[in-house]
A = this chain, B = another copy of it.
Amino acid sequence: MKLYEALAEKLTLQINNGYFQPGDKLPSIRQMSKTHEVSISTVQEAYRLLEDRQIAEVRIKSGYYVMSSSTVAPKLLNISRPDPTPVNISQWEAIVGLLYSHEDHHTLALGKGTPHVSGSTIQPLFKLISRFSRNQHVNQLTYDSLQGSETLRREIAGMMTHSACQLHHDEIVTTTGCQEALSCSMRAVTQTDDVIAIESPSFYGTMQIIQALGLKALEIPTHPETGISLEALEMALEQWPIKALLITPTCNNPLGYVMPDDHKERLIALANHHDFAIIEDDIYGDLAYANPRPRSVKSYDTEGRVLYCSSFSKTVSPAFRTGWCAPGRYIEKFKHMKYVSTACGSVLQPRAIAEFVAKGHYNRHIKTMRAQYLRNRDMLIELVTQHFPENIRMSYPQGGYLLWISLDESIDTSDLNKQLAIHGFSIAPGSVFTAAKKFNHCLRLNYAQEITPAVRNAIKILGQVIHASVGHPTEND
């Protein structure tokens, strides 16, 4: 993301937040230049971008104004207000339903978490796999080492410098996808009945790990721009014996925010003071629209408290199940849990991925993907703005490819899905992203895939169904 684009993003956020109201005059170009310490031309380009996006309009001899609300995107979400006590998680049946709907190739699954995987920049990886398969050596066909391919771990250590992490490759353990990294991390730092703090909403996959391990989840109020409220976390820490905090602070799933650097730093101070572990899910981190990408929480960690989890599933393809963890001080326990879980990973594909990174293909690929996802985000927001009721609120993702929308509280998005099935598509209902029943009226959309006419039409129908549902709760309610 260029400087003027970043400035335009910031202004859009302030407009969506209500800081600037429709019809308000935006600060003068000179004033903006001074406040944000950027050149006059950068501000000019930022304003021109807002004009292109129909967020601001220029009035001759007067300046830039926020456009009337009919063309401005819906308001940003409010901070979440989850239940203030740790709860057990269930909902496996709902997740199974969701997973099966994603597997159904006849359904356009608008809510799933899959990235775009058919771009040309991923092609070199297939050539590499093909080459490694042809030229395999005997010693490559045995069990991988417990810690995983050293070649790949060296490349991962290099990649992680982009989020300001300086790690030795021996501090990294490869895993079968990010799910194994998260699962083993939780098993490394908790025991049955322990309390683990999470964001609200939270990714349903990690919540299922919490459930299976018999942990209790405490949802922390979460701001749609800055992530979990550190104040609320601090209060919770004084009230409950919190063993670990599980967060996706960079390009959050489902909210898309990036926790600011100073929050990340303060979070580490809190962990040191209150003696808890942080499980950082950074799976979408490399897809942040900002360049250079935001720092990770791990990069502030001096005491080895952060178990940093990631994977190539969102950046390259989920089909390879190549993830990793930098488990800090918990590395020995983590390796034990990995041994117990799958013993070791596969051999061939991690080597091909290592080469894909080493040759610069990975950086080229994610650069392309970031640009595509940013374009798609704006297109999807425009479509939603056009077709959905005015009173919705939504996230304003700073990376990744997931949009979170909050509808009128009378609507249950699980019920909505039953109606959408007739039209051949589905969304991810909000109910699976929480242990409480706070997000039944919310939904997650994916904008990784191209916004084809079929997608445009689906969003239009979705809007119609939502319009028809407002104030008409189904019998289940």
Taking Cβ atoms with an 8 Å cutoff, the residues of A that contact B are 92, 95-96, 99-100, 102-103, 105, 114, 117-118, 122, 126-127, 129-131, 133-134, 136, 138-146, 176-177, 179-180, 183, 187, 192, 205, 208-209, 211-212, 214, 313, 317-321, 335-337, 339-349
Q: Are B138 and A118 closer than 8 Å at their CB atoms?
A: yes
Question: For residue A337, which residue of chain B has the nearest CB?
Answer: B212
Q: Which of chain B's residues have a CB closer than 8 A to the CB of A321? A: 176, 342, 344-346
Q: Are B179 and A141 closer than 8 Å at their CB atoms?
A: no
Q: Are A143 and B114 closer than 8 Å at their CB atoms?
A: yes
Looking at the complex, which one of B95, B177, B340 makes contact with A208 (CB distance below 8 Å)?
B340
Q: Are A129 and B179 closer than 8 Å at their CB atoms?
A: no
Looking at the complex, which one of B130, B183, B348 makes contact with A134 (CB distance below 8 Å)?
B130
Q: Are B99 and A146 closer than 8 Å at their CB atoms?
A: yes
Q: Which of chain B's residues have a CB closer than 8 A to the CB of A105? A: 139
Could you pull out 7 A-B pairs where Cβ atoms are within 8 angstroms? A102-B143, A117-B138, A130-B134, A133-B133, A143-B319, A177-B342, A205-B343
A208–B118 Cα distance when bound, in Å, is 41
Q: Are A179 and B342 closer than 8 Å at their CB atoms?
A: yes
Looking at the complex, which one of B92, B103, B139, B209 makes contact with A145 (CB distance below 8 Å)?
B103
Instruction: Indicate whether A208 sits within 8 Å of B339 (C-beta atoms), given known contacts A126-B136, A140-B319, A146-B99.
Output: yes
Q: Are A343 and B140 closer than 8 Å at their CB atoms?
A: no
Q: Are B212 and A142 closer than 8 Å at their CB atoms?
A: no
Q: Are B141 and A117 closer than 8 Å at their CB atoms?
A: yes
Q: Are B342 and A142 closer than 8 Å at their CB atoms?
A: no
| Chain B nearest CB, measured from A139 CB (Å) | 7
| Number of copies of this protein chain within its complex | 2
| Chain B nearest CB, measured from A411 CB (Å) | 28
| Chain B nearest CB, measured from A428 CB (Å) | 14
Q: Are A336 and B212 closer than 8 Å at their CB atoms?
A: yes
| Chain B nearest CB, measured from A367 CB (Å) | 19
Q: Which of chain B's residues have a CB closer than 8 A to the CB of A212? A: 187, 336-337, 340
Q: Which of chain B's residues have a CB closer than 8 A to the CB of A117? A: 138, 141-142
Instruction: Indicate whether A142 sits within 8 Å of B129 (C-beta atoms), given known contacts A180-B341, A343-B177, A345-B321.
Output: no
Q: Are B318 and A142 closer than 8 Å at their CB atoms?
A: yes
A475–B245 Cα distance when bound, in Å, is 47
Q: Known A-B contacts: A319-B348, A341-B341. Give 18 more (CB < 8 A).
A: A114-B143, A117-B138, A122-B141, A126-B133, A127-B134, A141-B317, A142-B319, A143-B313, A179-B342, A192-B192, A192-B214, A208-B340, A209-B340, A212-B336, A318-B344, A321-B346, A346-B349, A348-B349
A281–B214 Cα distance when bound, in Å, is 27
Question: For residue A349, which residue of chain B has the nearest CB?
Answer: B346
A345–B214 Cα distance when bound, in Å, is 24
Q: Are B336 and A92 closer than 8 Å at their CB atoms?
A: yes
| Chain B nearest CB, measured from A181 CB (Å) | 10
Q: Are B141 and A343 closer than 8 Å at their CB atoms?
A: no
| Chain B nearest CB, measured from A391 CB (Å) | 34
Q: Which of chain B's residues have a CB closer than 8 A to the CB of A349? A: 346, 348-349
| Chain B nearest CB, measured from A115 CB (Å) | 8
Instruction: Indicate whether A146 sits within 8 Å of B103 (C-beta atoms), given known contacts A133-B133, A321-B346, A345-B321.
Output: yes
Question: For residue A193, which residue of chain B has the nearest CB?
Answer: B192
Q: Are B118 and A126 closer than 8 Å at their CB atoms?
A: no
Q: Which of chain B's residues have a CB closer than 8 A to the CB of A205? A: 339, 343
Q: Are A342 and B176 closer than 8 Å at their CB atoms?
A: yes
Q: Which of chain B's residues have a CB closer than 8 A to the CB of A130? A: 129-131, 133-134
Q: Are B341 and A179 closer than 8 Å at their CB atoms?
A: yes
